[in-house]
Structure 1
Amino acid sequence: MGSCGIFSVTVKQREIITAALPVQDYWLQMSNLDLLLPPLDVGVFFCYKNSLPHEGESVKIIKKSLAQVLSPFYPFAGEVVQNKDGEPELVCNNGGVDFIHAYADMELKEIDLYHPDDSVERKLVPTKKRGVLSVQVTELNCGGLVIGCTFDHRIADAYSINMFLTAWAEITQSKQISCLPTFRRSMLNPRRPPIMNTFYNTLFVPLSSLPPPRSYFPSEPLLSRIYYIQAKDINDLQSNSSFNGNPKRSKFVAFTAFLWKLIAQCDDGYNTCKMGVVVDGRERINKVVNVDKLSLSNTTSFSMQNYFGNVLSVPYGEADSKELKEMPLSRVANMVHEFVAPTLIEEHFRGLIDWVELHRPEPSVARIYAKLDENDGEGVVVSSGQRFPVEKIDFGWGKPHFGSYHFPWGGQTGYVMPMPSVGKNGDWIVYMHMLEKHLDLVETKGRKMFKPLTSSYLDF
């Protein structure tokens, strides 16, 4: 085993877990907001220092509760297929979830989480080969274990998988599910007739509008890293972003502004630098659906807070790199607020749903992910993981000592997700998947802020 976490994982058993209760087969159409997602798989994993004392006992409990949680979350046991128009649809056929029981002859403290490409990818987080969701439980020789999941992003966003993971842990502890999901796509139906607004042409682009691949678009490697940021440094960022009478910005906006200034220092020949933010629209859309009490006991209505699927928009800003470097953090934070603010209303998401409807069945993509010409500046997208329920994912042997998303998505745009650190009083865990040249800046210019994740910090 090397310094970068080089180790082998032995598969003890592979099987398919289906829903414990019968699930009626039916087709679940994608919402227009689901259709904005390309076929991408997202990983998430949790590390536990301890498990139950008897061999295989923890794995049996996890499998049993997984079968139980797949009944209310039955889309995760389905399969994505194409309809006659070439669009994806979900067949809810209870085809099941691939489940892997594995073993690694190492201790948790020896896993190099700072380099997840070496230690996590295809080792602790499984590669999804079929269906919508894959799960792997890896037992360690120290008595700890790692639970890793990979899911199809077209079916669920981070909010949805968080809802699922929390319910899974609640079922394991014989608790009532605190947030039952609804899959009612009518909550995100387009208006009739749909309203065209050319504003969305600035944020999303049909695939047919993209230039053909050319040799002047070289593919550069993106690497994954995991850092931590101490609470005092986050607080300082927020204070500095509100300096000189500027409005007080959130910690997330201050963090995004700091990162934008940081990557703008890259001397790569591009004059501009782009920064995007993933916005969840659930709190923006005011929708409540009544349901039959007989079909779902003790529940009379669903709100968007129960909605399972994608409710995302990706606004972004582009600015001159030299100007960004010279601007005070407060000005850059104002710029982040300015490009995010228009998306924080219901009309933005209703308009986006209409825009997709008017372009169907042609697929579209967020413009920040698309390199439109050779002079197009590179960018990074930041997604807030502050709702990541790491402390709630307790299957009966204690909460995780660490948890993180893992999303090496394969594009050329960087992806960053800051999440809460378990029991560290306001510290952040930051997963980064970025171009190597941008990570170099993080580790040089930003080294006082971003600290490599170590087992000593996690108290493994």
Structure 2
Amino acid sequence: MVHEAINGHGHEVTVKVTSASTVAPALPVQEHRLPLSNLDLILPPMDVSVFFCYGAGEGSGGGGALLPAATLKAALAKVLVAYYPLAGEVVANTRGEGELLCSGRGVDFAEATAGDAVLRQLRLAVVDESAEKLVPKKKAGVMCVQVTKFKCGGAVVGCTFDHRVCDAYSFNMFLVAWAAAARDGHGGGTAPPPPTIPSFRRSIVAPRDPPPPRSPSTDALIDRLFAPLGSAPPPPDDAAAAAVNRIYRVAAADAASLQDSAGPGRTKLEAFTAHLWQLNARAAAAAERERPCCMGVVVDGRGRMFPDGAMRAYFGNVLTIPYGVMGSGELRAAALTDVAGDVHRWVAEAATGDHFRGLVDWVEARRPKPAAARAYLGGTGGGDAAACIVSSGMGFPVGEADFGTGAPAFASYHFPWPAGAGYVMPMPSARGDGDWVVYVHVSPELAAAMEEEPTVFRSLDNSYVFG
């Protein structure tokens, strides 16, 4: 069994795994191989986690004690019938590329206890002291789950999945279906609506045959945003090792004010990205090291490739990462409206169906040579640039993560990835009041810049989470 210590307000919380099993689909899966799409293949091997805190008792902010693990397992087995790739594993094909072996091996499921600790003792804002021990580390397969129970009756459900298999949009579909199945199995309330049936139809993102005439503008943008790995410098290991993990909150009024300050026609995410870009420049000055600052934004292509909604149920990755690079001094001197305008421009360039279809063809022409997004590497110059990526989780279905006892009191991503670029993921607060919860994996200097300028990034206190 595993014992992990968590520090919480002077109280050391010990997490002990008491049971480990594997949950297979409720119906047999005929073993077969499912190729990763060309848009999956541009993702490096990396895992992403999410976790949900369910309080218990008056004033906890949660919906009561969590369902028994047996109910969660039964619901998981039921949902894995439709989401069978999550019960498989990624293996190498004959070309050395990853592909899905849909074998029905199942999802590793750990049950844990936090001893005599209560949820309020967790310092959720300091991820390395809290969520780090509450989300499972995947050892095999595509996905794993850990349910940790607390003395107060609360619990944390943590999930980790292989990003090569699906993006956040896809995993959100699974989470909603799993929660609906658990509510149905719990026997309370009205019957859940029919969940979305996932589509694994790779032909919808297949390369065009024959390829269309080359578009110089489309090709130039793809060459700027992506690079064959053999021609791109590796990320700096020291930056990855030094990064800190934090969770902040952004008040709804602050997000709206930031949007207003960014100028007309700018989204909240564009304003947020521009503000973060300038904070990155401020961090460079604090470190007494003037350097280029690279800021990227993850863009979902489903609605761009098929505005009619044909990809609404598609399960897989449909992402691109446009970015901008600017000198830190120039960024600090610029007005927020100008920086936000720059963000809007390079996001709009990539948020087109032509770009995503061209990217599929671009990967096909270079297979099996792997490729990577240049934004992770600091742009075309790479090397010395301070890179940071914003991936919006504003579609995260916090309110629908109800396994039968109410919505969670708190939820967040967890993504301490081993690369040099920072990663910032905003999502809606579980309070449902328009506030944001923002997970960050960034350099210590950038985290300090966020905390020193508190008009946007505010501390996440337990009183905010649990009332």
Instruction: Give the TM-score normalised by the residue count of structure 1.
Output: 0.91
Residues 233 and 383 in structure 2, CA contact (< 8 A), matched pair in contact too: no
Cα offset for 1:402? 0.5
- The 3 A distance-change label for structure 1 pair 206 and 277 is same
Residue 299 of structure 2 corresponds to residue 284 of structure 1: no
Alpha-carbon distance in structure 1 between the residues aligned to 2:63 and 2:399: 18
Map 1:147-162 to 2 at 5 A.
147-162=157-172
Residues 4 and 115 in structure 1, CA contact (< 8 A), matched pair in contact too: no
2:208 to 162, 187, 191: 191
1:388 is aligned to: 396
Residues 50 and 411 in structure 2, CA contact (< 8 A), matched pair in contact too: yes
2:368 is aligned to: 361
1:436 is aligned to: 444
Map 1:90-129 to 2 at 5 A.
90-105=100-115, 106-121=117-132, 123-129=133-139
Cα offset for 1:178? 2.9
Structure with higher helix content: 2
Cα offset for 1:3? 3.5
> Could you say what the CA RMSD is over the residues aligned between the two structures, in angstroms?
2.1
Alpha-carbon distance in structure 1 between the residues aligned to 2:31 and 2:164: 20
Alpha-carbon distance in structure 2 between the residues aligned to 1:431 and 1:218: 18
Alpha-carbon distance in structure 1 between the residues aligned to 2:234 and 2:448: 30
Residues 236 and 419 in structure 2, CA contact (< 8 A), matched pair in contact too: no
1:131 to 123, 129, 141: 141
The amino acid across from 1:206 in the alignment is P
2:232 to 210, 218, 221: 210
Alpha-carbon distance in structure 2 between the residues aligned to 1:57 and 1:323: 53
- The 3 A distance-change label for structure 1 pair 4 and 46 is farther
1:298 is aligned to: none
Cα offset for 1:201? 1.2
1:28 is aligned to: 34
Structure 2 residue matching 1:284: 3-state secondary structure: helix
Alpha-carbon distance in structure 2 between the residues aligned to 1:219 and 1:136: 26
Cα offset for 1:436? 1.0
Cα offset for 1:327? 1.3
Alpha-carbon distance in structure 2 between the residues aligned to 1:46 and 1:77: 21
Cα offset for 1:2? 4.8
Alpha-carbon distance in structure 2 between the residues aligned to 1:190 and 1:232: 44
Alpha-carbon distance in structure 2 between the residues aligned to 1:102 and 1:140: 9
Alpha-carbon distance in structure 1 between the residues aligned to 2:447 and 2:101: 40
Residue 48 of structure 2 corresponds to residue 42 of structure 1: yes
Residue 95 of structure 2 corresponds to residue 85 of structure 1: yes
Cα offset for 1:214? 8.7
Alpha-carbon distance in structure 2 between the residues aligned to 1:259 and 1:4: 32
Residues 166 and 389 in structure 1, CA contact (< 8 A), matched pair in contact too: yes
The amino acid across from 1:169 in the alignment is A
% same residue: 47
Residues 95 and 368 in structure 2, CA contact (< 8 A), matched pair in contact too: yes
Cα offset for 1:211? 3.8
Residues 54 and 64 in structure 2, CA contact (< 8 A), matched pair in contact too: no
Map 1:333-344 to 2 at 5 A.
333-344=340-351
Alpha-carbon distance in structure 2 between the residues aligned to 1:373 and 1:319: 11
Residues 115 and 224 in structure 1, CA contact (< 8 A), matched pair in contact too: yes
- The 3 A distance-change label for structure 1 pair 310 and 4 is farther
Cα offset for 1:248? 2.2
Residues 76 and 133 in structure 1, CA contact (< 8 A), matched pair in contact too: yes
Cα offset for 1:177? 3.2
Residues 112 and 146 in structure 2, CA contact (< 8 A), matched pair in contact too: yes
2:412 is aligned to: 404
Cα offset for 1:423? 2.2
Structure 1 segments unaligned to the other structure (5+ residues): 289-301
Deviations 1:260-290 (A, max 9, x none): 11111122424321110000001111188xx
Residues 179 and 403 in structure 2, CA contact (< 8 A), matched pair in contact too: yes
Residue 269 of structure 2 corresponds to residue 263 of structure 1: no
Residues 270 and 376 in structure 1, CA contact (< 8 A), matched pair in contact too: no
- The 3 A distance-change label for structure 1 pair 213 and 393 is closer
2:260 is aligned to: 239
- The 3 A distance-change label for structure 1 pair 213 and 367 is closer
Alpha-carbon distance in structure 1 between the residues aligned to 2:131 and 2:404: 24
Instruction: Give the TM-score normalised by the residue count of structure 2.
Output: 0.90
Residues 253 and 333 in structure 1, CA contact (< 8 A), matched pair in contact too: yes
After TM superposition, the structure 1 stretch with the greater mean CA deviation from structure 2, 16-25 or 205-214, is 205-214
Alpha-carbon distance in structure 2 between the residues aligned to 1:38 and 1:159: 18
The amino acid across from 2:138 in the alignment is K
Deviations 1:424-459 (A, max 9, x none): 411110000001111111111x22321121110112
Residues 112 and 149 in structure 2, CA contact (< 8 A), matched pair in contact too: yes
Alpha-carbon distance in structure 2 between the residues aligned to 1:91 and 1:114: 37
Structure 1 residue matching 2:305: 3-state secondary structure: coil
Structure 2 residue matching 1:450: 3-state secondary structure: coil
Residues 286 and 304 in structure 1, CA contact (< 8 A), matched pair in contact too: yes
Residues 276 and 381 in structure 1, CA contact (< 8 A), matched pair in contact too: yes
Deviations 1:1-50 (A, max 9, x none): 45487522111110000000122211100000000011101000000003
Alpha-carbon distance in structure 2 between the residues aligned to 1:209 and 1:90: 27
The amino acid across from 1:364 in the alignment is A
Alpha-carbon distance in structure 1 between the residues aligned to 2:13 and 2:443: 25
Cα offset for 1:199? 2.5
